[in-house]
Amino acid sequence: MIPLRDDTRRTGTPVVNVLLIALSAVLFFYELSLGPRLTAFVMSTAFVPAKLTAGGLGLHDLQPGVETALLSMFLHGGWAHFLGNMLFLWIFGDNVEDRLGHLRYLIFYLLAGFAAAFAHLWFNPQSAMPAIGASGAISGVLGAYLFLYPKARIQTLIFFGFFARFILVPAWVFLPFWFLIQLISGVASLGVPNAQQGGGVAFFAHIGGFVAGPILLFLLGGAARRPQRRTETW
C-alpha cells in the first residue's frame, strides 16, 4: 500500500516539516556525491549498536550514541528509502506540526527519532549493521497522527498483481495495519543473524518510534482533541 495524500486540512504552513525534508534531501545528495567514500562515511556517522555495547553500555557511550542517532535520522540508503520516507513525512507530518506548533513539532520529531534508535539498540545490542534513515522519527509521526486523526481518510494506491487501484483507507485501518507488519517482521527477526535481518530493515526502530509518538504528543501538550476538518473532494 502506497499512501498518496490524506483529507485532513491544516491551518498553517508546515515550515518545520518542509525544512526536515529539505535537510534530508541535502544530506542524501551529499551522500550520492561521495562515490567510493560513501561506505566509510556511513560507518562513521550511522547508529551502530555494537559500537556502543562493545565494552558494555555506560554513561561514556551516551554522547556518541545521541550524536550518531541524530545524524543518522537524516541519512538514507538509496532512492527508494529516501523517497518512501519523505512521502510519509510529507503526508502525515504537516498535520502533526499543525497541532503541536513549529518548535514543539521539531522537538517531537527529534525525540521520536531518539526513541526509535534506542529501541533498536535495546532489541539488537550486538548488531554491527549501520542504522540510518528517518523512518524511526517518521514512525513517531504516524503514531501521533493515528491518535489525533483516526477518522482521516488516506488515499492509497494498492496493487493487485499487475493491477492497481486507488482507494480511501481510514487512518485507523491504514496505520495499525502498517504497525502490525512492523511488529510481525520485528518479532520474526529476533535471533536472526545480522546479515539476514529483513534486508537490513530496523523494524524495532519503527516500533519504538510509533509507540513513542502518542506518548511524546501527550508530554508536549498536543493530545487535546479538536474537530477534524476534511476536504470534500480529491
Domain-embedded: residue 136: yes
| CA distances to 102, 108, 119 from 99, in Å | 9, 11, 26
The answer to whether position 226 is within a domain reads no
In a domain, 232, yes or no: no
The CATH number covering residue 171 comes to 1.20.1540.10
- Residue 126, domain member (yes or no): yes
227 within some domain: no
The side-by-side arrangement of strands in the sheet containing 2-6 is 2-6, 153-160, 163-170
Whole-number pLDDT of residue 195: 46
Does residue 225 lie in a domain region?
A: no
Q: Give the model confidence (pLDDT) of 178-197 as tens digits.
A: 999 999 998 888 866 654 44
158 near 165, Cβ under 8 Å?
Answer: yes
Q: What is the DSSP string of the chain?
A: -EEEEE-B--SS--HHHHHHHHHHHHHHHHHHHTGGGHHHHHHHHSB-HHHHHTT---GGGHHHHHHHHHHHTT--SSHHHHHHHHHHHHHHHHHHHHHH-HHHHHHHHHHHHHHHHHHHHHH-TT--S-B--SHHHHHHHHHHHHHH-TT-EEEEEEEETTEEEEEEEEHHHHHHHHHHHHHHHHHHHTT--GGGSGGG--HHHHHHHHHHHHHHHHHTT--S-----B-S--
Model confidence at 21, pLDDT cuts 50, 70, 90, reads very high
* Residue with cell string 503526508: 91
Q: Is residue 214 part of a domain?
A: yes
- Tell me, what's the pLDDT at 231? 47
Domain of 147, in residue numbers: 2-219
Question: CA-to-CA distance for 20 and 201, rounded, in angstroms?
Answer: 22
pTM (global) more than 0.85: yes
Q: How confident is the model at residue 229 (pLDDT cuts 50, 70, 90)?
A: low
**Residue 231 belongs to a domain:** no
Total domain count, the chain: 1
What residues are paired with 158 via a beta bridge? 165
pLDDT digits (tens, 9 = 90+) for 110-135: 999 999 999 999 998 888 888 999 99
Judging by DSSP bridges, how do beta strands 2-6 and 153-160 pair with one another? antiparallel
Percent of the chain scored above 90 by pLDDT? 63
